[in-house]
A and B are shown apart, each in its own frame.
Chain A
Amino acid sequence: QVQLVQSGSELKKPGASVKVSCKASGYTFTSYAMNWVRQAPGQGLEWMGWINTNTGNPTYAQGFTGRFVFSLDTSVSTAYLQISSLKAEDTAVYYCASLSYDSSGYFPTYDAFDIWGQGTMVTVSS
């Protein structure tokens, strides 16, 4: 069964850091690019960027540079999102989602986020 399973909810204080995991199963981890999508409470979806699961090279969307870091551990088919210096406005559900690669194997096709994790709620509150 193809699936992405994310780590559980987190409650953090402002200024702290959090690391969310996304474990893939049922497919070859390096065959799909891993993306991260944020959804603030009651709001829409916002693409944060993606990480190349073959090279580990991340690409961050505007607004997600500096405090946000994507990483991998391919030995356990897991992608990570780390957010540092947390702020109240980081409170959101964070999803991982897969994208196919194009024929080069280095760039996503951007055609369809076809597999999604169940989401991880990160709450930032003092």
Chain B
Amino acid sequence: QSALTQPASVSGSPGQSITISCTGTSSDVGSYNLVSWYQQHPGKAPKLMIYEGSKRPSGVSNRFSGSKSGNTASLTISGLQAEDEADYYCCSYAGSSTYVVFGGGTKLTVL
């Protein structure tokens, strides 16, 4: 069982928007502005999409955005494209004992 809870799957049609939630606790997501999101295509390494909750690395499309409310972080993808179909993982700092926790991952299907 992962420390952060994500839906197992979400789906959307091209051009639509989807949101993936990531629920933690007051010991991780709720306490730190250190949530990051990763995209992973089959057989590939994860790729950083969002860091510090809502910042995008250089080169990541502005169709990807992140937010947080309380113990839940969210990743929104707007204008869905076929290439967005992948697994998405959230990650949070969890203090100086546990350090890092990941979500269980969400499979995004573009219909």
Q: Which residues of A contact B110 (CB under 8 A)?
A: none
Residue among A35, A37, A44, A118 with max Cβ neighbours from chain B (10 Å): A44
Determine if B105 and A45 form an interchain contact, defined as CB atoms under 8 angstroms apart: yes
Complex Cα spacing A43 to B91, Å = 15
Residue among B34, B45, B46, B47 with max Cβ neighbours from chain A (10 Å): B45
Q: How many A-B residue pairs have CB under 8 A?
A: 59
Determine if A113 and B91 form an interchain contact, defined as CB atoms under 8 angstroms apart: yes
Pick from B89, B99, B105: contact of A61, CB under 8 Å: B99
Determine if A113 and B38 form an interchain contact, defined as CB atoms under 8 angstroms apart: yes
A interface majority secondary structure: loop
B51 adjacent to chain A (CB < 8 Å): yes
Residue among A61, A111, A116 with max Cβ neighbours from chain B (10 Å): A111
Determine if B89 and A44 form an interchain contact, defined as CB atoms under 8 angstroms apart: yes
Complex Cα spacing A61 to B101, Å = 10
Complex Cα spacing A45 to B87, Å = 11
Determine if B105 and A44 form an interchain contact, defined as CB atoms under 8 angstroms apart: yes
Determine if A59 and B99 form an interchain contact, defined as CB atoms under 8 angstroms apart: yes
Q: Which residues of A contact B52 (CB under 8 A)?
A: 111-112
Determine if B51 and A47 form an interchain contact, defined as CB atoms under 8 angstroms apart: no
B14 adjacent to chain A (CB < 8 Å): no
Evaluate whether A113 and B36 lie within 8 angstroms (CB atoms) in the complex, with A44-B104, A61-B99, A62-B98 already known: yes
Evaluate whether A116 and B102 lie within 8 angstroms (CB atoms) in the complex, with A44-B2, A45-B38, A110-B34 already known: no
Q: Which residues of A contact B30 (CB under 8 A)?
A: none
B82 adjacent to chain A (CB < 8 Å): no
Pick from B46, B48, B51, B99: contact of A95, CB under 8 Å: B46
- Chain B residue at smallest Cβ distance from A46: B102
Min Cβ gap A9→B in Å is 12
Q: Which residues of B contact A37 (CB under 8 A)?
A: 46
| CB contact list, A42-57 vs B, under 8 A | 44-47, 49
Determine if B100 and A61 form an interchain contact, defined as CB atoms under 8 angstroms apart: yes
Complex Cα spacing A44 to B8, Å = 11
- Interface residues of A, Cβ cutoff 8 Å to B: 35, 37, 44-47, 49, 59, 61-62, 95, 97, 109-114, 116-119
